[in-house]
Amino acid sequence: MSPSEGIAKQRRVTLHMVSSLDGFIAKKDNNVSWLDGTSVYEAGVSISQEEIAAFIKTIDCYVLGSHTYEHAIELGWPYGDTPAVVVTSKELPAATKSVEFYSGDLKTLVDVKLAPRYRNIWLVGGAMLCHRFLELGLVDEISLTIAPVLLGDGLRLFGSLPEQRWNLKNVRAYKNGFVELSYSALTV
């Protein structure tokens, strides 16, 4: 294995998304009120703000598509000062100093640009970019949170992909009825 292949192997790309029960990640009008927990599941766990903050600190870099970026800015930039790479062919304003833009081959992005600098890379949407990452085999882990709601319509979680099998690593149910499913890529 060459040194660059060794570095590429150390990186971990986690695809993180929240989906409705019927497999949508956004409503047509982009309203996000469906993400507010309204259900109560007594046996579920709850996590404190401190635990969330400690977890977020472990993320070295976010990657997102331009539509997700534009929507995130509208809602209020959620990624703080953590490095974030926006994949786009357009000239967009940077939300913070920690935002960089990238256009081009996604394998080069992950293995050449990101892997030497970051280990724990979070791909946070949207559907189009995640679909492409999955197609190219660039995702090591999937963290999928299912919200207790049927949306009926909207933007589909994943488009049409060839069959891929994943290992279930963890299931966590929260008091608000959201369920987090964690998978790792099956290595054959």
Ligand X SMILES: NC(=O)c1ccc[n+]([C@@H]2O[C@H](COP(=O)([O-])OP(=O)(O)OC[C@H]3O[C@@H](n4cnc5c(N)ncnc54)[C@H](OP(=O)(O)O)[C@@H]3O)[C@@H](O)[C@H]2O)c1
Instruction: For ligand X, give the closer residue by CB, 89 or 187.
Output: 89
Nearest distance from C-beta of residue 81 to ligand X, angstroms? 20
CB of residue 168 vs ligand X: minimum separation in angstroms? 19
Q: Which is nearer to ligand X, 10 or 38 (CB)?
A: 38
Pick 129 or 185: Cβ nearer ligand X: 129
Q: Shortest gap between Cβ of 171 and ligand X (angstroms)?
A: 18
Residue at 47: amino acid letter: I
Question: Do the Cβ atoms of 24 and 146 come closer than 8 Å?
Answer: no
Sheet holding 84-87, edge to edge: 99-102, 84-87, 61-65, 120-123, 12-19, 141-146, 179-185, 166-173
Residues 6+ apart with CB under 8 A from 146: 18, 19, 20, 21, 178, 179, 180, 181
The CB-of-134 to ligand X minimum distance in angstroms stands at 11
CB of 144 to ligand X, least distance (A): 9
Considering the complex, state which of residue 1 and residue 75 has its C-beta at the smaller distance from ligand X: 75
Contacts 24+ apart (CB under 8 A), 103-111: 106/132, 106/133, 106/136, 106/138, 107/136, 107/138, 109/63, 109/85, 110/8, 110/11, 110/13, 110/138, 111/4, 111/7, 111/8, 111/11
Of residues 32 and 53, the one with the C-beta less far from ligand X: 32
The site for ligand X (CB under 6 A) is made up of 17-18, 25-26, 30, 65-68, 71, 87-90, 106, 124-129, 132, 155
